[in-house]
Amino acid sequence: MSDAQTPNQYAMQDPRTQYPRPPFPRQPQEAPGLASKMDPTPDHGEESYRGFGRMEGRKALITGGDSGIGRAAAIAYAREGAAVAINYLESEQSDAESLKELIEGEGGTVHLFPGDLTDESFCTQLIADAVEALGGLDVLINNAGKQVFQESIDDVTSEQFDQTFKTNVYAMFWLSKAAVPHLPPGGSIINTTSIQGYKPSATLLDYATTKGAQIEFTKALAKQLADKGIRVNAVAPGPFWTPLQPSGGQPQDKVEEFGSQVPLGRPGQPAEIASTYVFLATQEAGYITGEVFGVTGGDPTM
């Protein structure tokens, strides 16, 4: 999204027209997709997010941090004063490098750790590497996700089902388990679930199932970790304009009208959800754990 298109998030305005509305052009990509190839280009906060120093000295690891919601969270965290590490797939290196250039160009700290989260040993090593690079760990954002639409259960292969669960559920479990010994009292785990965990689409059978699992994982782990002073929460986005959608997450006819079904009539931009991840990581949310925050453009999660 160009400078001319980037709204001032801090000025009062009509949320229906704050960002682009459908129809959008068809734009098929190979999974996992690149934000740089999307039309319109998503706003991750590159020009719009303003930091206020709310995370000075914090250390955070964000999966899926190269683009979409993870990229927006990384930009916000860096501008709030946190040191950041991100994970992503090697095919997403160009998006990760552009993020690194942005954050380091502003004097921030970001470490890049490409790799496949469906591998348990990699997940365990990722936590160790992030702790070493950052000098500790205060926040873990389990954000990376796999979404592939299929019209029928007959079209969902066991391989797809397995990969979706390993990316969305197993990785969350492996990373959280490895991270807990490093998180101090006041530390936070934030999981990205979805409105699909409450209101599943027929074409997202396996994805929606994993999102329901993430919600229950969040609630149960929050109870386990309360006596350690570690909070666990989740964010449930509605339709957000990220590479997940045109790279197989939705059919192209739905990409054209993406977000039109919610009351605000458009998809959310990643920059619009970043502050939710900031809030949940800070002491402003110190009495909040085991909760799921819906950011859905007016489509209630319940």
Q: Cα–Cα distance between 285 and 232 in angstroms, integer?
A: 11
Question: In sequence order, what DSSP letters do the residues of 180-222 get, joined into one string?
Answer: GGGPPTT-EEEEE--GGGTS--TT-HHHHHHHHHHHHHHHHHH
Per annotation, catalytic residue among 88, 198, 207, 277: 207
Structure letter (DSSP) for residue 267 = P
**Residue pair 94/67 in contact by the 8 Å Cβ criterion:** no
Q: Which of 7, 46, 40 is nearest to 25 (CA)?
A: 40
How far apart CA 126 and CA 115 sit, in angstroms, is 8
| Residue given tokens 């754990």 in the structure block | 289
32 preceded by cis ω (within 30°)?
Answer: yes
* Annotation marks residue 207 as catalytic: yes
Q: Which residues are catalytic?
A: 207
